[in-house]
Structure 1
Amino acid sequence: MGDRESDRRLVASVRAGDHESVRAALDEGADPDVPDPGTGLPVLCTAVAAFDAQVAEALMDGGADPDRGLPDGSTPLLRALDGGSPAVFQSVLGNDPRLRLPERERARLLARARNRYETGAVEELRRRTGARGPVVAERVTDEGHDWVDQYTLGGRVVRAGHGAVLTWLESRLRVLPSVDELIDRAVAVADEDHVDWWGACYALLERHRREAWPEAPAHSDHPDPVHRRFVADYLRTRGITACDSPFAERESELLTAWAARETDGAVLAKVLEALAEYEHPRMEATGLRHAAHPDPRVRLRAATVLDASEQARSPGARAALLALLGDPDARVRLEACRAGSRDDTLLAPAAEELVRLAEGPYEDLRGGVAETLASSRDRTPAVADALAALLADGDQFVRLEAAYGLALRDDPRTGDAIGQVGPLYGDGFEHDHRVNALWDWTRRENRPWPLAPGAETA
């Protein structure tokens, strides 16, 4: 049991959603199962109800009991399952539930997860509340990553991520559904940014057994383009995470042949994006085949493939990229700029187009334009001036890229540029190569560091 003061700090930190303060209170001896005075339930249930995966993970790391029986017969883990947030459920399930939970409880969890998924979040919410009024729906991100629908009715809130919850539970309990079943779950919501899509993709990625190979790629010929798009996305992710897989050569061959026959533009674009993560002797030829495709999504990924090819770039490939620098679609032009920036012959025209993109009305592309400008080997005044102009952008990451690009060029405006970035709040900046470069510049010039939280902007 923790002391009362640290317990109070823990409760306050959980309610505030401050996971760092939660960890600090636990380090000071707070009881990880201390009840929240507002509900009488352990604070882990407070985190679960708030869909706060980081706080739930901190409590679990501090020794909270996810299997603790509650007055209504549930447990924090069952509440996390019912809540439908994959991120929260992953945090509360713990590291190895196969060792912690008896077989009967594992079977109970699996049956409940499957029931919640098959029933549907809205119907389950109506069953639990008895309410028949309108359901309030909103789309939310689950712990800042993929999206999920959240529903509110009768004072209860659930998220419709039970497909991913079931998939994660099966994975942790080493229950392996068929590949077909996993793909069916993924494509039920035909969006690769949905939690169920990523949950199925992750489960397939975890399978390094030989029997997983013939089933997933078989969907490359599925009549539904959504199924084919999922397989392409799965292979793209495998190319990133398992490039040394014994199946890599076979996968790249499949993607190359698939790109030659695919007729759906969205699927073909994803196939080309996947191919760019592999090596194949026909990669350049594949990119050239689709560089003039009528669908801009395909032309964009044709540029990606041409850029990814490790062969010496042919005159035909340079000509195709030069043509794509003048493409009607701004996204295609930006992708061609990325490829051209790494080619001595195309460096100057790519830089000229980047400057035009930076000056144009392409707010949604500004981050990519700034990043490509900053890293460009072009050292002409026009590029430096474009970077300086981007310091007025409302997006801090665009300003950070612009200042970084000026620092790389040792531009005399660098000092003012760093000040215009603004103080950096949040996690992750301690390992950011751009921040490290700006820090090195300020130390070398013996200047104060203006990006610390709370610092005044220049």
Structure 2
Amino acid sequence: MDDERLVAAAERGDAEAVTAALEAGADPDTVTDDGLPVLCLAVAAYDAAVAEALAEGGADPDRRLPDGTTPLVRAVEGGSPAVVTAVLGREPRTRLPEAERERLLALARRWYERGAEEGLRDRAGGSGPVRRSSVRDDEYGSVPELTLGGLTVRDGHGAILTELEWAFRVLAPVDELVARAVARHDPEHVDRSAALRTLDKRRGRETWSAVTAHRHGPDPERRLFVLDVLRLHLLFISNWRNSYERETAELLVAWATEGEGDPRVLAEVLRVLGEAEHRELEAVGLRHAGHSDPRVRARVPLLLFGGEGPAPGAATRAALLALARDEDRDVRAGAARALAPASRTPSSPCSGTPRPKCGPEPRRPSRAARTAPGRSPTPSRPCATRVSSRRGSMPPTASSGATTRAPTRRSNDSARSPGPATSTTTVSPRSFAGSGSARTVPPPNNAE
């Protein structure tokens, strides 16, 4: 009876009911009417939530099926990164023998390099038109879904390859990851978000240098992707030793000062720079306050005044007032937001006295929003409020056009005193940057 409840719950896509049936004693490897384990039903339906519930409940993703495949192999072929992640299970690098890991990587690469449509045509044996649609694969990205002759695949094999490489600690060249990220010319594609997540985890000097080298390239899409990576480095800090916060701020200031020919990219440079701390932010803002492109001017107010700290000087205030009269609505709105707090005298929310009376001003009140889970920031002032944040959350990317987070206070210096060297968020293995073939390296004891 419990097994029947399990199959029925999986068929209707009810992950909570699946978990309840498993807890009641249902066999996680229950075989359905087609002779396959119920996990294959979830894989075929692209139901990542049900697949995860089954895998967490003990379903075997490596069970050999009559056709020689496994549920995990079928998930890889299906092209949904979310389903693969759900089915992959815990500790795949130690659970799966090396030969099986290499088989999965080769399978994902073959699908990626050939293309989902050609693979679908081989399986369907047809030459008719392929029906295409875009579906949300997970909370971070979307993926094309292709259907032909009653068969369906998703075109997310680049992301699957990237996720499997990281799960197996095969460190692909940074240049290859960047190429995968921009190949689709779609900021919402799962291939991009998977590369972005992986590069954020692979924090190391070689990786940082290899990523930022693409800012000098001719492709604006690659330059925008560099900004996506840098923004994650600023927003999420797993360990002060590998945050690269100071280096990122210095690079962004140089990028904005030396010149960026594409106004769209320059606007995103200024947007990401607004998340940083550097003594030259105001100067950079003044430099671009009269830029001909409104997208650039709209990013200037946050650089001129972030909402806290000393009132802006005469030149800055004059620039903000000029921007408040700009012909572009977004520029005017940004200037108004910056001018509103600039006209008020900051006071302590807990004592009614000036802020210095309540303790030293924090360098960035929103540090908690950039802190990994399990690492509670220590407030600099007794009245400061702690804010929690999920490490896994993905902010809007530079190329998505999404609105940045709330303005933050910036200090007068780009340097930050070193923080604690320990963190509950694990540290990425050392990275292999640049071109060449991927190689496997053992992660350190605290690797993700």
Q: Are the counterparts in 2 of residues 279 and 309 from structure 1 also a CA contact under 8 Å?
A: no
Question: Structure 1 counterpart of 2:329, which letter?
Answer: A
Kindly tell me: are residues 292 and 23 of structure 1, through their superposed partners in 2, closer, same or farther at Cα, counting changes over 3 Å? farther
Partner of 1:316: 315
Kindly tell me: are residues 246 and 140 of structure 1, through their superposed partners in 2, closer, same or farther at Cα, counting changes over 3 Å? closer
Greater relative contact order (Cα < 8 A, sep 6+): 2
Segment of structure 1 superposing worse, 192-201 or 178-187: 192-201
**Partner Cα separation in structure 2 for residue 174 and residue 8 of structure 1:** 39
Partner of 2:254: 257
**Partner Cα separation in structure 1 for residue 26 and residue 321 of structure 2:** 63
Q: Mind listing any 5+ residue stretches in structure 2 that lack a counterpart?
A: 347-448
Q: Are the counterparts in 2 of residues 57 and 92 from structure 1 also a CA contact under 8 Å?
A: yes
Q: Are the counterparts in 2 of residues 277 and 308 from structure 1 also a CA contact under 8 Å?
A: no
Partner of 1:241: 236
- Number of aligned residues: 342
1:281 CA drift (Å): 0.6
Partner of 1:395: none
Partner of 2:303: 305
Q: Are the counterparts in 2 of residues 98 and 172 from structure 1 also a CA contact under 8 Å?
A: yes
Q: Deviations over 1:68-125 (max 9, x none)?
A: 1112211110111111111111111112111110011011111111111101111111
Partner of 2:416: none
**Partner Cα separation in structure 2 for residue 213 and residue 145 of structure 1:** 23
Instruction: Give the match's secondary structure for 2:267.
Output: helix
Aligned: 1:15 with 2:14: no
Q: Deviations over 1:333-373 (max 9, x none)?
A: 443344344333599xxxxxxxxxxxxxxxxxxxxxxxxxx
Q: Deviations over 1:103-162 (max 9, x none)?
A: 110111111111111011111111111110000001111124311111111111111111
Q: Are the counterparts in 2 of residues 122 and 151 from structure 1 also a CA contact under 8 Å?
A: yes
1:42 CA drift (Å): 1.6
Question: Structure 1 counterpart of 2:275, which letter?
Answer: E
1:43 CA drift (Å): 1.7
Kindly tell me: are residues 304 and 148 of structure 1, through their superposed partners in 2, closer, same or farther at Cα, counting changes over 3 Å? farther
**Which residues in structure 2 correspond to 1:198-217 (within 5 Å)?**
198-217=193-212
1:165 CA drift (Å): 0.5
Q: Over aligned residues, Cα RMSD in angstroms?
A: 2.1
Aligned: 1:105 with 2:103: no
Question: Structure 2 counterpart of 1:265, which letter?
Answer: P
Partner of 1:49: 44
1:302 CA drift (Å): 2.1
Q: Deviations over 1:181-235 (max 9, x none)?
A: 1101111012322111111111111112322122111111011111111101110
Identity of counterpart residues, as a percentage?
A: 53
Q: Mind listing any 5+ residue stretches in structure 1 that lack a counterpart?
A: 348-458
Q: Are the counterparts in 1 of residues 175 and 210 from structure 2 also a CA contact under 8 Å?
A: yes
Kindly tell me: are residues 81 and 346 of structure 1, through their superposed partners in 2, closer, same or farther at Cα, counting changes over 3 Å? farther
Q: Are the counterparts in 1 of residues 307 and 338 from structure 2 also a CA contact under 8 Å?
A: no
Would you tell me which structure has more helix in proportion to its own residues?
1
Partner of 1:196: 191
**Which residues in structure 2 correspond to 1:125-136 (within 5 Å)?**
125-136=120-131
Kindly tell me: are residues 191 and 219 of structure 1, through their superposed partners in 2, closer, same or farther at Cα, counting changes over 3 Å? same
Q: If the length of structure 1 is used for normalisation, what is the TM-score?
A: 0.71
Instruction: Give the match's secondary structure for 1:95.
Output: coil
Q: Are the counterparts in 1 of residues 305 and 342 from structure 2 also a CA contact under 8 Å?
A: no
**Partner Cα separation in structure 1 for residue 289 and residue 117 of structure 2:** 45
Partner of 2:168: 173
**Which residues in structure 2 correspond to 1:17-416 (within 5 Å)?**
17-37=13-33, 39-242=34-237, 244=240, 245-260=242-257, 261-308=259-306, 312=310, 313-344=312-343
**Partner Cα separation in structure 2 for residue 14 and residue 306 of structure 1:** 54
1:323 CA drift (Å): 3.4
1:309 CA drift (Å): 7.9
